[in-house]
C-alpha cells in the first residue's frame, strides 16, 4: 500500500496559500516531511487525515480515494497530532479502553488484551493506573502512539513528535516509531532534521507550501559531498562572510561562531573541508528559495 498525493493546493480564507501544487508518492516505511515552522506540514497532515479539505488535488491510499472515502481512511488511520490533548483525570488504561470502544472493538476480553499489549509496547504499563494529567511530555507522546495503534493502522501520521522531549524520551520514541515503519506507511512531520536523518528512508523538504526536494536522505547528502566547508570566525565578521560566500548556516561552537559554506572549490585556505550532513541539505534547499532561515527554524 502506498500513499499518493497529486497536485494538492490549499488557500485559507485569510489569503495564506499553505499548499501549492503538492505532489508526493509515499511508500511503506518511515517518510520524513521536513520543513520550517509555517511550511505547510500540518495543513498537509490534516488533509491526509481527512480533517480538512483542500481546494484542489487528489490523494489515494492504496485503492482508497482519501478525499471522498473518509470513513474508509479513518478505519486504517492512526493519527498523532501536534498537540495531543488528554483527559487529565482519567488513567491511561481507562482512556485507552474507552478509545478502543470508540474504534469499534466491542468484545471486552479482546479489548483488555489489546490495551494491555499497547501499554506494554509503549512502556506505559507500569503507569497504567496513573491519571494522564500527571504524565510527562514523553509519556503523553507515547500514550499518543498507543492510541494511534488501536486500530492496527495502515497509515500513521505523526506531527512534530519530539519537540520538547528530553534525549532519553526522544530515543525511546524513535525506537517505537522505527518498529512501526516495517509494514505501514508512517509519515513523520517535523522541523527537526536529526529526527529524519535517524529514522527515515525517504523524505521531502517542504517550504512555503511547496515541495522543494524529495528522495532518499543518504542520496541527498551524497549530492552535496565535497562542497561543504567550515570556518570559525569572530563575532561581528558574519556579515562580511555572508556577502562574499554562500553561507548556509552559522552556529556557536564553544562560544565562537562557526559558519558552513557551500562551494564547489575551497573558498580560501582558511576553510576546512567537512562531511556533508542532512542539515546542510536542508539549509541549502531552503535558502535556494531566497528566504531567511534563522535559529528558530532549526532545532538540533
Ligand X SMILES: Nc1ncnc2c1ncn2[C@@H]1O[C@H](COP(=O)(O)OP(=O)(O)OP(=O)(O)O)[C@@H](O)[C@H]1O
Residues near ligand X (CB under 6 A) are 12, 14, 16, 18, 35, 37-43, 160, 191
Measured distance CA(261)–CA(271) in Å, rounded: 9
| Minimum CB distance to ligand X, residue 191 (Å) | 6
For the purposes of burial, counting CB atoms within 10 Å of the CB of 283, is it exposed (0-12), middle (13-18) or buried (19 or more)?
Answer: buried
| Minimum CB distance to ligand X, residue 190 (Å) | 8
Helix (H) or strand (E) holding 61: strand 56-61
From residue 106, how far is each of 144, 145, 203 by CA, in Å? 21, 21, 38
* Positive or negative torsion for Cα 242, 244, 248, 250: negative
From residue 93, how far is each of 38, 150, 161 by CA, in Å? 35, 13, 22
Q: Distance between alpha carbon 81 and the CA centroid of its chain, in Å?
A: 11
Residue closer to ligand X (CB basis): 18 or 204:
18
Please count the residues of the chain: 300
| Minimum CB distance to ligand X, residue 13 (Å) | 7
Residue closer to ligand X (CB basis): 42 or 184:
42
Comparing CA positions, the residue from 266, 249, 245 lying closest to residue 258 is: 249
| Minimum CB distance to ligand X, residue 38 (Å) | 4
Residue closer to ligand X (CB basis): 16 or 273:
16
Cell numbers for 257: 561562531
Q: In the β-sheet with 3-11, what is the strand arrangement from edge to edge?
A: 17-26, 3-11, 56-61, 64-65
Measured distance CA(76)–CA(81) in Å, rounded: 16
| Minimum CB distance to ligand X, residue 21 (Å) | 15
Comparing CA positions, the residue from 207, 211, 165, 203 lying closest to residue 181 is: 203
| Minimum CB distance to ligand X, residue 19 (Å) | 8
Residue closer to ligand X (CB basis): 160 or 280:
160
| Minimum CB distance to ligand X, residue 16 (Å) | 5
Measured distance CA(147)–CA(115) in Å, rounded: 9
| Minimum CB distance to ligand X, residue 40 (Å) | 4
Residue closer to ligand X (CB basis): 160 or 202:
160
Residue closer to ligand X (CB basis): 19 or 220:
19
Residue closer to ligand X (CB basis): 35 or 138:
35
Residue closer to ligand X (CB basis): 43 or 162:
43
Q: What is the DSSP letter of 40?
A: S
Amino acid at each position: 500500500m502506498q500513499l499518493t498525493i497529486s497536485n494538492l493546493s490549499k488557500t485559507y480564507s485569510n489569503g495564506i496559500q499553505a499548499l501549492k501544487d503538492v505532489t508526493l508518492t509515499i511508500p511503506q516505511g518511515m517518510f520524513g516531511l521536513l520543513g520550517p515552522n509555517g511550511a505547510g506540514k500540518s495543513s498537509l497532515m490534516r488533509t491526509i487525515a481527512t480533517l480538512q479539505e483542500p481546494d484542489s488535488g487528489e490523494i489515494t491510499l492504496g485503492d482508497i480515494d482519501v478525499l471522498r472515502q473518509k470513513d474508509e481512511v479513518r478505519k486504517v488511520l492512526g493519527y498523532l497530532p501536534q498537540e495531543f490533548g488528554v483527559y487529565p483525570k482519567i488513567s491511561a488504561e481507562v482512556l485507552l479502553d474507552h478509545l478502543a470502544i470508540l474504534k469499534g472493538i466491542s468484545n471486552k476480553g479482546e479489548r483488555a488484551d489489546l490495551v494491555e499489549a499497547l501499554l506494554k509496547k509503549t512502556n506505559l504499563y507500569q503507569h497504567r493506573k496513573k491519571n494522564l494529567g500527571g504524565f510527562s511530555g514523553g509519556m503523553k507522546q507515547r500514550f499518543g502512539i498507543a492510541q494511534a495503534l488501536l486500530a492496527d493502522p495502515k497509515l500513521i501520521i505523526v506531527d512534530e513528535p519530539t519537540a520538547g522531549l528530553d534525549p532519553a524520551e526522544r530515543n525511546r520514541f524513535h525506537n517505537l516509531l522505527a518498529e512501526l515503519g516495517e509494514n505501514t506507511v508512517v509519515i513523520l512531520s517535523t522541523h527537526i532534521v536529526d529526527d529524519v536523518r535517524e529514522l527515515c528512508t525517504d523524505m521531502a523538504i517542504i517550504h512555503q507550501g511547496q515541495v522543494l526536494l524529495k528522495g532518499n536522505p543518504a542520496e541527498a547528502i551524497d549530492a552535496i559531498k565535497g562542497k561543504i566547508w567550515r570556518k570559525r570566525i569572530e563575532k561581528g565578521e558574519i556579515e562580511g562572510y555572508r556577502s562574499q560566500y554562500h553561507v548556509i548556516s552559522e552556529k556557536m561552537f564553544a562560544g565562537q561562531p562557526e559558519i558552513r559554506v557551500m562551494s564547489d572549490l575551497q573558498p580560501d585556505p582558511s576553510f576546512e573541508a567537512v562531511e556533508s550532513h542532512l542539515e546542510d541539505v536542508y539549509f541549502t534547499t531552503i535558502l535556494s528559495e531566497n528566504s531567511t532561515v534563522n535559529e528558530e527554524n532549526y532545532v538540533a
